Amino acid sequence: MAAFELTKEYLLAIEEAIENRNTEYLTAELEEHFPADIAAILYEVNGEQAHYLLQLLDTEKGAEVLSNIEKEDLKKFIKEQFTVEEISTYVNLFDSDDAVDLLNQLPIEFREKIIASLEDREQARFIIDLMHYPEDVAGGLMQKELVKVKMGQTVSECVEEIRDQAENVDKVYAVYVVDDHQILKGIVSLKQLVLARRNTRVENIFEEDIVYVDTTKSGDEVAQIMQKYDLEAIPVVNALGRLLGVIMIDDVIDFITEKAEDDIQKMAGITDDVEEDDSVWKLAKSRIPWLVIGVFGSLMAASVIHQFENILARISALAMFIPIMGSTGGNVGIQTSSLIVQSLSEKTPLEMSLGQRLVKVVQVALINGIIVGIVAGVYVYIIGEPDLFWVVFLSLISVVILASFMGTITPLVLEKFGVNPAIASGPFITTANDLIGIGTYFLIASSLLNLQ
């Protein structure tokens, strides 16, 4: 099947068919698409139209479609279009972790009614268990559906167990081995089960060396472990070592993507989780705080310039290099802080100390500062202001070093106080380095040119 591409023409055809209630055409079209492609269509139509399209699908495919819709969009869609009975039918077919993600977006009253009305009481129990965990730790990322067997079972008994349990599990990568107390002991691959004789006991073929995480492990650490060991799934245990669930690779990818989007918005100075198609007021409100801070910083920079206006009056050419001081400081600060934020998200036992970081930062900054200083100094000669060479050259070196220092320290300090260090890479660093750059420039100019 070729990759689906949603065009305006196709969307218009779908909307026209919905308006005319052309169920034959719509049913045929929807059968041709993957759930993710149908979800893309639902994003582009209104809530009533989306609800009508879902009713044309069988319940299982409808559940897959809903699981492909972003949580915030799904929250609004469900509250406006679905009855408790309708959404319960779909939740029965969700993986437990997806069901919890959905229900956590809904009002408590609506959520409780859905859980109470679930036909699959085991699913209801799974959901209640998972709701105790924050969504950014292993317990919140795991799903309860998995396949497990006991050590004393034979391969033949194990296969029967898999047949019974796999009805509720979409993807079976391996079978987990537990003892009589549900303590995780190891793993047995499907290949091993196929190749082993029927009367072979599981305890004779399972692998004891297994990577697992406990329920409190952060989502970032889970992602790093799965990447390091190239895992498609990882089991989750409690403090006693009992097997509670499993985290699938697709859930980790969703977590990483969502976190990256959140960090990008924070780096850009956007305080809320917003999308391009949100209301004008919501978009404006999300940007106002950092814009106000940016304006305040610019006003402070203007005040710094005002303090040196007598110097500018005597050598007006100094004004030409004010922008480069601010922009260079801002760029260097963002570059440095971005690397620090990245290293903080990928911590290792061999992490550098603060002193080692600063030494390396100064070395890199000195090289970069000399290079940009020479480039700017050449321009100073070209425009016929040779007296300003050392002012511009030394100012740029100083600005690059100070901005690098700020870009290193700020994320580390923020993380120390439990604040997301990603916000340091945005307007805060830029604004702070504007002030540092301009102030440093004028101090060096007044010193070298004997201007008071």
237 band by pLDDT with thresholds 50, 70 and 90: very high
Per-residue pLDDT at 129 exceeds 70:
yes
Question: Which residue spans of the chain are classified as CATH 1.25.60.10?
Answer: 8-136
Check if CATH label 1.10.357.20 holds for domain 280-448: yes
Non-local (6+) Cβ contacts of 234 within 8 A are: 211, 212, 213, 222, 225, 226, 246, 247
pLDDT at position 256: 83
Per-residue pLDDT at 243 exceeds 90:
yes
Q: Which of 438, 70, 365, 407 is nearest to 267 (CA)?
A: 407
pLDDT average, residue stretch 355-384: 87
Check if CATH label 3.40.50.2300 holds for domain 148-255: no
Bigger pLDDT: 344 vs 180? 180
Question: What are the pLDDT digits (tens) for 62-114?
Answer: 888 888 887 667 776 776 778 888 888 888 888 888 888 888 878 788 888 88
- Determine the Cα–Cα distance for residues 194 and 190; give it in Å rounded to an integer: 6
Question: Which residue spans of the chain are classified as CATH 1.10.357.20?
Answer: 280-448
Kindly state the percentage of the chain with pLDDT values over 70: 87
Task: Using DSSP, state whether 70 is helix, strand or coil.
Answer: coil
pTM of the model: 0.64
Non-local (6+) Cβ contacts of 305 within 8 A are: 312, 322, 438, 442
Pick the range with the lowest mean pLDDT from 10-14, 107-111, 352-356.
352-356
pLDDT at position 245: 92
pLDDT average, residue stretch 131-135: 87
- Determine the Cα–Cα distance for residues 143 and 215; give it in Å rounded to an integer: 11
Longest dimension (CA), the chain: 96
Question: What are the pLDDT digits (tens) for 157-205?
Answer: 888 888 887 777 777 778 899 998 999 999 998 888 888 888 899 889 9
State how far the alpha carbon of 242 is from the alpha carbons of 121, 177, 181, 221, 239, in Å.
Answer: 22, 11, 7, 20, 8
How confident is the prediction for the chain on average, in pLDDT?
83
Q: Which of 167, 228, 158 is nearest to 190 (CA)?
A: 158
Question: What are the pLDDT digits (tens) for 389-439?
Answer: 999 999 999 999 998 888 888 888 877 877 767 665 566 777 777 788 888
- Determine the Cα–Cα distance for residues 265 and 309; give it in Å rounded to an integer: 37
Which CATH number does the domain 8-136 belong to among 1.25.60.10, 3.40.50.1000, 3.30.2320.50, 3.40.50.12780? 1.25.60.10
* The Cα angle at residue 151 between residues 146 and 152, in degrees rounded to 5: 130
Pick the range with the lowest mean pLDDT from 33-47, 223-237, 310-324, 342-356.
342-356
Q: Which of 292, 340, 291, 304 is nearest to 441 (CA)?
A: 304
Residues 189, 179: contact at Cβ < 8 Å?
no
pLDDT at position 213: 95
Question: Which residue spans of the chain are classified as CATH 3.10.580.10?
Answer: 148-255
State how far the alpha carbon of 323 is from the alpha carbons of 4, 33, 270, 344, in Å.
Answer: 47, 53, 25, 31
pLDDT at position 385: 84
Question: What are the pLDDT digits (tens) for 261-300?
Answer: 666 666 555 555 555 555 666 666 666 776 677 677 777 8
